Amino acid sequence: MIRSRAQQIARGLCQIMGRELLKGNNKTIIRPPTQTRQTPQHPWSSSSSVRTISMLHWPFTQPRDFSLPNTSWDSDMRQLYEHYNSMCEVDTEDGGKKWGPWRRLPSYNRSLKYATGGVYLSKIIHSKARLFTRSIKEQGAAFEYVMFVNKEEQKCVCVFQAGHLLEGPPGMVHGGAIATMIDTVIGTHATYLSGPVMTANLNINYCSPIPLGSTVLLTSSLDKEEGRKTFLSSQVTSTDGTKLHTEATGLFVSVTMGHLVGA
């Protein structure tokens, strides 16, 4: 009964909200119907290298994009953010702008709230649920991170600053928090490449501990795709890439959206 009512509400909301779908590799990635705040969206419909994206009006409160700079970010994090963000749009010969090789991926504290389709929103009954990595409101206290993806090179990078609530060994980041970031980064990358997926395996080697409060770089690269399976590998290094903290492989299995939300 509650679910049925929630579905009715969800369907109604969907009619208002509309949807924005970014097509890639004949698969569909759901993006929230909102603009990023820092990177302005340009009407580059004339450029062949830029997808034409219709920006829809968000009728309610603008959801917070957690992957934008805030005052808790240290200088390493800001510099790496600027480095990759500057490659998200580049100058054209005629003085205009066009997409660069990288995309910044926005990040919210719930994905479902902004997804499309009435039945998918039925899980709105978990009204208090929050994405694990974005569930703590205090800036800088837990997971501060931003992801960038490069479609052509099939790579993804994440700049991650570990807050004081992620402690494992004294003064060091908890192995579970590192696993969480690895799952998040290669899982997001797998979703970008293959559509909705679920984690099937993570194999993680912890090489050297990460000091609490420091910023590190996570990279994800595609190893292979076999049917519904996507294999990726990941490394966690110091920001200059000279020190290896963790390395991992991940196997992700494609699922339908219905499977994902238990519809």
Contacting residues toward a copy of itself, per CB under 8 A: 110-112, 115, 120, 123, 126, 128-133, 135-136, 142, 164-171, 174-177, 179-184, 187, 198-206, 209, 212-213, 260-262
Select 217 or 251, whichever has its Cβ closest to a copy of itself: 251
Q: What is the DSSP string of 166-206?
A: GBSSTTBB-HHHHHHHHHHHHHHHHHHHHSSEEEEEEEEEE
CB-based contacts of 25: which residues, under 8 Å, 6+ apart?
193, 194
3-state class (DSSP) for residue 246 = strand
65, 91, 183, 240: the catalytic one is: 183
Rounded least distance, CB 107 to a copy of itself, Å:
14
Is 183 marked active-site?
A: yes
**224 beta partners:** 231
Residue (of 213, 205, 214) closest to 246 by Cα position: 205
Cβ nearer to a copy of itself, comparing 95 with 262? 262
Amino acid at 250: G
CB of 12 to a copy of itself, least distance (A): 19
Q: CA 99 to CA 87: how far, in whole Å?
A: 8
Min separation Cβ 88 and a copy of itself, Å: 26
For residue 76, how many C-alpha atoms fall within 13 Å in the half-sphere facing its CB? 17
CB of 258 vs a copy of itself, minimal distance in Å: 11
CB of 44 or CB of 120, closer to a copy of itself = 120
The residue among 17 and 142 lying less far from a copy of itself, judged by its C-beta, is 142
State the distance between the two ends of the chain, measured CA to CA, in whole angstroms.
15
CB 192 within 8 A of CB 230: no
Considering beta carbons, is residue 190 or 217 the nearer one to a copy of itself?
190
Instruction: Say how many C-beta atoms besides its own lie within 10 A of residue 260's C-beta.
Output: 16
Residues with Cβ within 8 Å of residue 211, at least 6 apart in sequence: 171, 172, 173
For the chain, the residue count is 263
> Which residues are marked as active site?
183
